[in-house]
Amino acid sequence: MRYQQLPQEVYIQNREKFTRHLKSKSLAVFNSNDIFPTGADSSLPFRQHGDILALSGVDQEESILVIFPDAYKEEHREMLFLKETNDHIAVWEGAKLNKNQAFALSGIKNVFWLTDFERIFNEVMSHADYVYLNTNEHLRANTEVETREARFVTWCKNKYPAHSYQRSAPIMHQVRAIKTKGEIDTMQTAANITTKGYKRVMQFMAPGKWEHQLEAEFMHEFLMNRSKGFAYTPIIGGGYNACVLHYIENNDQLNDGDLVLFDVGAEYANYSCDVTRCFPVNGKFTERQKEVYNAVLRVKKGAEKLLVPGNNLNDYHKAVGKLMEVELLTLGLITAEEVKNEDPNWPAYKKYFMHGTSHYIGLDTHDPGLWTAPMEAGMVFTCEPGIYIPEENLGIRLEDDLVITENGLINLTKEIPIEIEDVEAAMK
């Protein structure tokens, strides 16, 4: 694999956190993702399911993790089932994990080939009362495509209808929400690679360049630093395009006097970095751009003070909305009358700031996590307020990745210039 493997302690700790939530005589099953076809004999690059990766480190298709803490046989308490390498696979694709390699990365001693799965699974199911199955319960999940995990859920329930089935997803939301030190170190690596990309682009950008050329500069820097590339589809929007929240075409030319909004982050070892910055095409902000930019920056700094243990995302987002309301009133973009008569379900500030401020980040850019649970040390959030004024061809969003600790925040992306004077100095 291209990246440096995380310490196996990461996966041992995550499995321990998971098993603490299981009922007595329970087993849990986690499946890898599929390799998705695109047509003819082509497929998308493989990306592992975040849950099996968080619990085992196995970054390989056709893999199954079974956890059964109360199993009668010790060899059945933690098991990995992997696709066995053969000569054909070794020549055409490259060898898959062998049993020793799987143990070295996961800390799981009992590794079996996938051909043994049904026989062993049938044995352990005879001793289990509860079965924890994994489903995608992310608030923004799109589940139209049937995954390998979904097929397994159907197969298991049909074959073993008398067992009591439980949900792994709420437990995994808690496990993945709090990162281990090894995970935070890896996220810092992703942030460092992202920082190199931003600094490269700041030197390259000039009037007349194209948005896709800036995208290419990022990709060059990411690949040179052992990233597989973008953690998500990059957004690089100049002028009016910055007001389109999910603008991903990146096909327009940059105009002198415009700002460019970059929402770009690298992945490293499957962990995401998610950063947004806004830079002037010609290297200098106009007075109006400065006015709106500093308003966004003040909201961001105020929001960061609310990312503390004990708060929760629901209350946090309401409080950030009040901060933005003050700035929009000062800018004259909304009126006191509009605030007074606003719909509580869509406050007046939403006209110019229509999205949320923070989300969990980790193995997925929008990582799973509980929005009503208290924030805790070890959680990692983005912070990304924005103001979008289509009539002025001006959209500004500023975003960093922040680790909550008992003693304040660790900003993983702090080396990317954000203060106006620092941006202008870096672009000279």
The count of other CB atoms within 10 Å of the CB of residue 82 is 23
Residues of the chain above pLDDT 90, percent: 93
d(CA 356, CA 383): 9
User: Does this chain's domain 8-177 share its CATH topology with 181-426?
Assistant: no
Contact 231, 273 (CB under 8 A): yes
Rg value, the chain, Cα = 24
Lowest mean pLDDT, pick from 84-93, 271-280, 312-321? 84-93
- The model's pTM is 0.96
- Does the pLDDT of residue 12 top 70, yes or no? yes
Residue 265 has pLDDT above 80, yes or no: yes
So where are the chain's domains? 8-177, 181-426
Per-residue pLDDT reduced to its tens digit, 39-60: 999 999 999 999 999 999 999 9
Nearest to 420 by CA among 305, 286, 257, 303: 286
Query: Which residues partner with 233 through β-bridges?
Result: none
Q: What is the pLDDT of residues 169-221, one digit of tens each?
A: 999 999 999 999 999 999 999 999 999 999 999 999 999 999 999 999 999 99
Nearest Cα to Cα of residue 250 among 196, 241, 259, 281: 241
What average pLDDT score do residues 13-33 get? Answer: 98
Structure tokens at 58: 């196995």
Q: Are 378 and 404 in contact (CB under 8 A)?
A: yes
Indicate whether 93 pLDDT > 90: no
Which tokens hold the place of 69? 């803490």
Buried (b) or exposed (e) across 378-397, using 16+ Cβ within 10 A? bbbbbbbbbbbbeeebbbbb
The whole-angstrom separation of Cα 413 and Cα 293 is 18
Nearest to 54 by CA among 146, 187, 166: 187
Residue 417 has pLDDT above 80, yes or no: yes
Token pair for residue 403? 């680790």
Nearest to 397 by CA among 387, 383, 382, 407: 387
Please tell me the total number of residues recorded for the chain in this structure. 428
Across the chain, what does the average pLDDT equal? 96
Q: Which residues contact 364 (CB under 8 A, 6 or more apart)?
A: 50, 138, 272
| DSSP states of 11-70 | HHHHHHHHHTTPPTTEEEEEEPPPPPEEETTEEPPP---HHHHHHH----SS-EEEE-TT
Cα–Cα dist 366/173, whole Å: 12
CATH number, span 8-177:
3.40.350.10
Closest CA to 26 of 73, 63, 67, 78: 67
- Spatial CA neighbour of 10 closest among 185, 270, 158, 143: 185
Residue 91: pLDDT band with limits 50, 70, 90: low
For residue 394, the cross-strand partners are: 389
139: confidence class by pLDDT, cuts 50, 70, 90 = confident
The rounded distance, in Å, linking the Cα atoms of 261 and 276 is 7
What tokens were used for 188? Answer: 């810092």
Residue 79 sits at the vertex; the CA angle it makes with 78 and 85, to the nearest 5 degrees, is 155
Judge whether residue 381 has pLDDT over 70: yes
Q: Is the Cα dihedral 326, 327, 328, 331 positive or negative?
A: positive
The CATH class of the 181-426 domain is alpha beta
Compute CA 36 distance to the chain's CA centroid, rounded to the nearest angstrom.
20
pLDDT, tens only, 391-407: 999 999 999 999 999 99
Cβ proximity of 168 and 134 under 8 Å: yes
CA 186 vs CA 8, 9, 191, 424: distances in Å: 13, 14, 9, 30
pLDDT of residue 213: 98
Question: What pLDDT score was predicted for residue 55?
Answer: 98
